[in-house]
Structure 1
Amino acid sequence: MAARKTAIWGGVAAVGLGTYYLYNAGGSPKVAEKQFEHDAAKITSKVRGELPGKEKEAKTQAKVYTEQAGQNIDSAIDDVKLTTSKVDAKLEGYRANAEKKLDEYRKEAGKDLSSAVDKFDKTVEQKAAQSKSWIGSWFGGK
């Protein structure tokens, strides 16, 4: 019974320790693992008081910094991609709006041109009719 309780409390302690490192690493399991390795090397170095432990501690700290730097770079790249996609979306919106306006202006200009051509045709027909009657009156026509 005592061994079972010890195992349960040992498991609870391990979960708590894992949660602590994961929280301090900002949710990154790789950084948490490197930080745990660093702390383990540091404790080993203190307990043994040996120089090789210091070397391992320095190496694991370098790994922690490298992993954190990699995570920061990945985060910066994600931010740049997000910003770029937002800019692309805005530009696409502006392009679509400009295309819509251009199409509206083209249709309006087409209507104005058709109206002007119709007016010109009507005026020409009226003047032609007047000229015909004027010329016809010279020669005795109606």
Structure 2
Amino acid sequence: MSNRALPVLGLAAAGGVGYYLYNAGGDPKLAEKKAEHDAANLARRARGDLPGQDKELKKAGEEGYEAVRSTAQQYANQAKTKAQEAEQKLDQYSVEARKKYEEAKVQAEKEFNSTRQEVNAAVNKFDQKAIEGTREAKGWFGFGGK
């Protein structure tokens, strides 16, 4: 062989492999089955055999099986990916809910403490007025005082 023939044959082989991989959606098993089926068809035509022989049917059946298997695998992978995405979203929602709960809890505690301080101040003010009122009343009625 010449020096030019080898690279050309290598390029043609790589192109053939790329063709079958592309048509099989990147699945190497399906690409292999399609290549075997095409090779069987080419050999049958070269021999002049009639279509419908067992070997051809077997290759076609294997190719069909691989196509179905490949599609089922793709759907299974998509479903798995969607399930993982949903799980991540649920985890994210859970974290956000926990964070909002903690924030609301802190805010409620602040408001409770503020209200408690206001109530205590109002009670103290009332007590102070009651004590002053009692002192004034005592002094007014002549029970002692100032």
TM range (shorter): 0.7 to 0.9
Partner of 2:123: 124
Residue among 119, 142, 145 paired with 1:141 = 145
Partner of 1:71: 70
| C-alpha RMSD over aligned residues | 2.7
Higher mean C-alpha displacement, 125-134 vs 106-115: 125-134
Q: Name the CA distance, whole Å, in 2 between partners of 1:107 and 1:19.
A: 62
TM-score w.r.t. the length of structure 2 is: 0.76
Say if 1:42 and 1:54, in contact at 8 Å, map to a contact too: no
* CA-to-aligned-CA distance 1:54-97 (integer Å, 9 cap, x gap): 21111111111111211111111121122222222332333233
Instruction: Provide structure 1 residue ranges, at least 5 long, that are not aligned to the other structure.
Output: none
What is the CA distance between 1:129 and its match in structure 2? 2.3
Partner of 1:17: 16
Partner of 1:37: 36
The structure in which a higher percent of residues are helix is 1
Q: Which amino acid aligns with 1:81?
A: K
Q: Which amino acid aligns with 2:145?
A: G
Please state if 1:85 is matched with 2:89. no
What is the CA distance between 1:118 and its match in structure 2? 0.9
Q: Name the CA distance, whole Å, in 1 between partners of 2:75 and 2:58.
A: 26
Distance 1:123 1:66, change over 3 A: same
Instruction: Provide structure 2 residue ranges, at least 5 long, that are not aligned to the other structure.
Output: none
Q: Name the CA distance, whole Å, in 2 between partners of 1:14 and 1:93.
A: 49
Partner of 1:101: 100
Q: Name the CA distance, whole Å, in 2 between partners of 1:42 and 1:54.
A: 11
